[in-house]
Amino acid sequence: MIKLYNVSMIFKHEKRALDNISLQIGQGEFVYITGSSGAGKTTLLRLIYADIIPSQGVVMIADKDVSRIEGGSIPYLRRNLGVVFQDYRLIESKTVYENLVLSLEIFYMGRKKMSSLIFPLLKMLEIFSRRNTVVKYLSGGEKQRVAIARALINDPPIILLDEPTSNVDENKSDGIIRLLQKLSGDKTVVVATHDQNLINKFPSRRIGLNNGKLVFDSAKENEKIILPD
Amino acid sequence: MSYSANKFFVNISKIQTVRAYIAMDNKENVDNLIADIRDMKSVENVVFYSKSDTYRYINENMKSITYIGKLPEELFPSFIEISLGEEYRNIDYVRDLESTLNDLENVESISYGEKWILNFLTIRFGVELFTAIVTILLSISIASIIYNTVKLNLIRYKKEIKIYSLVGATKTFIAVPFLFSTIIEAIISFFAAYGVVFFIFKILDTKILQKISIDFLSFPPLSTFMLLFICALIIIIASSYLSINTFLDYESSFYE
């Protein structure tokens, strides 16, 4: 589903954010990308949703080469990805409902159909009662659930989450991961996190990054275990 | 204003009449000449003024010059005044007519105030050139204002645009609402500005200029207005499209 071959990412005037990374994530896998702050987790996710293209190497999503993708094809790639950003990327001045509508508007979907997709999801995420609340008045946990709802609304085959538990307490983080594991089914879920407790509680495949280098992959037999700081 | 100025100089440089001064003003010669002139397609009307008509006219209209009355009638010219049709009142055609008339027997010389007409034409050319330069500069300024206003508007919605882009909105999906809103706003501004100018000119014309018998201001016909509107529309669409396109290309750039 997701394949990276010798991928390096060098930002202007900066060190290598990613250094010669190669990995594969299959369909239906639930994978943690771990590492300390600045390890390259967010950069790796950004490469997957084509916010940046790699300086070297190849990124393949569902057998499509994202590293050579044309600008006009990026929106269609992103429609197959649900992304929960660390800062949520919600429109603060719009309501919960309107924030979810914008993900469906791009398909020129009718209002009735939109509501039929949005309402059950809001109920499942227990924020239905907040549907008409403007996002800036929501708590961090509520915003996170709105961001998750937006990532899931199109039923994408790949879900990417960047530090989904960083702004919520332990109970809520557990709830989020439980929910994601329940919802994932045959979806590929990639969670970038530095929360070791969470990983221990809900064990799954782990890919470790440190200073832009891949330091371990729990899926590989002879993994080289160098836990990040 | 430029339309009015141009129309003023177009009218003033039109040659309405041409005078053919004649050598011998006996009736037969004059009648033959008038008949020849009447046959020309550009001629609307022909009037013969004899030496005595000229003498009488000058005496009646220039009474302050006392010595004119003492001059003999024979010294005054006799001429044929040729009124030209509306479409033949330009200098090029009149020059052709002049050479045709000069070829006729009994025509001594031709006069149509060439020096004045050439001066007016020079001024008209200057006005047209000035208008063209001002129009080009204004068009560039308007395009630049629209380009930057649209860009400022896009910057205001930069965060929302990025979010739309991240959830899979195409460039067209993002651009179309901005393009339409810009076009509608600019069209409303165009009509508002035109309306304001129209009323100012109308008041100026009726309250001041007409009272002092100056017929300078004129309003363009609907066809000219529509042409102006289409040109404005092209500038609006091109500049806003360029602004939106460059902004979205830059914002969705892969490199940081």
ipTM of the assembly?
0.86
Q: Which residue of A has its CA nearest to B250?
A: A71
Tell me, what's the pLDDT at B145?
A: 93
pLDDT the model gives residue B252:
66
- Cβ contact (<8 Å) for B173 and A106? yes
| pLDDT above 60 for A180 | yes
Indicate the residue of B168, B249, B252 with minimum beta-carbon distance to A106.
B168
Contact state of B168 with A78 under an 8 Å Cβ cutoff: yes
Picking from A91-100, A110-119, A126-135, B2-11, which range would have the lowest pLDDT averaged per residue? B2-11
Q: Find the closest chain B residue to A67 by CA distance.
A: B254
Query: Which of B 165-224 lie inside 8 A of A, CB atoms?
Result: 165-171, 173
Low-confidence ranges of chain B (pLDDT < 50): 254-256
Reported as a pLDDT band with limits 50, 70 and 90, residue A4 is very high
In contact, A170 and A91? CB cutoff 8 Å = no
Q: Which residues of A touch B165 (CB under 8 A)?
A: 75, 78
pTM > 0.80: yes or no: no
Query: What pLDDT does residue B255 have?
Result: 41
A224 has pLDDT over 60: no
pLDDT value for A149: 92
